[in-house]
Structure 1
């Protein structure tokens, strides 16, 4: 009968084998740790819908001394949060997305009666894969729980309508001019529709984030908007939320 001889390794050889495997395993584990610590690239979005108010987009108005056609009161188009976010996502993904930017201040002021299908038909038809909702500043003061509930329900309806024909990533930020009741309604509406809520309430507490800290304005309302620093801070908060979601 043919026999196979198995040679037993000496203690020294066995120890060397154990050390080699330990080193290999450690290297592999280290690689995994380094990989986990590396910042993950932002998703490559094809269509981004920005829905907001004057902080998002405001055309020229001689009445208030505003000459821009971008987010009030950034010093130039490329310094408002919309363009900072878009440019950052373009650079990180290598693909420039289509964008639609809409001022929906009318929705803020008339949320209870606003006709979504008529007024935002183009936004729904756009079918974005990323929606950034930046509202709240123009919403009338919510004096009762009932009013807060109605505002929340209206925001939920808006977000659900955007999800009807598509399943976009949804980012909802709190108000720059922080308001507890409004922001809580936005948070709950965002949570109930599977979005990511971004709390920027601290930004409005820092005077350096206001445009009036950067230059003089004819109109106090314009001056009370975020300046270049404030716009950058808003964009940073949104981009962080997109990357970690």
Structure 2
């Protein structure tokens, strides 16, 4: 297997739950846009990522170009237009990697700017070793399921909260994304799991997905620690 590494950063959100005047990937976090923090994480030389693909809605290209100019971004990356769903956006990002023979590709939420390098590295390694690997953490709270009678307790030690990155053998992910989109697809692991077992990697509670104003406040606090 090729040891080449690639990354697709998916940033197609509109930020409606943030109640902000711009998409959440462009909100400032410690003086820089959220998406730029995420890009810098995957551009770390130690990770040896050969190609970085950023997936954005086409109407946000100009904004991102202006951000790159304003912040003097010199990180090599390719910007690809997203689709109507996350599945379509990842498929478009994969198309940019079609010329590569193999390797391991990470798919990561563009609004997860605090992912520790150790988690990224561990997930890449597990993706290389197992074909499909996902960062995940144990729920901190008690969890209950719903039924017609009300609710019932679930054993949280047997549950995991899924994060990104999610790393896959490139050809495997390409095969999975050639299949039709289903409404049950919630992430890349759910697209792949009918073709290949999913290996879990220990994630990190700091690996926040910026979705609400509270997430941004917490991310600021973690960065300033």
TM-score normalised according to structure 1 size: 0.26
Question: Over alpha carbons, which structure has the higher Rg?
Answer: 1
TM-score normalised according to structure 2 size: 0.28
Q: Which has the higher helix share?
A: 1
Q: Which has the higher strand share?
A: 2
- Structure of higher RCO (CA pairs closer than 8 Å, 6+ residues apart): 2
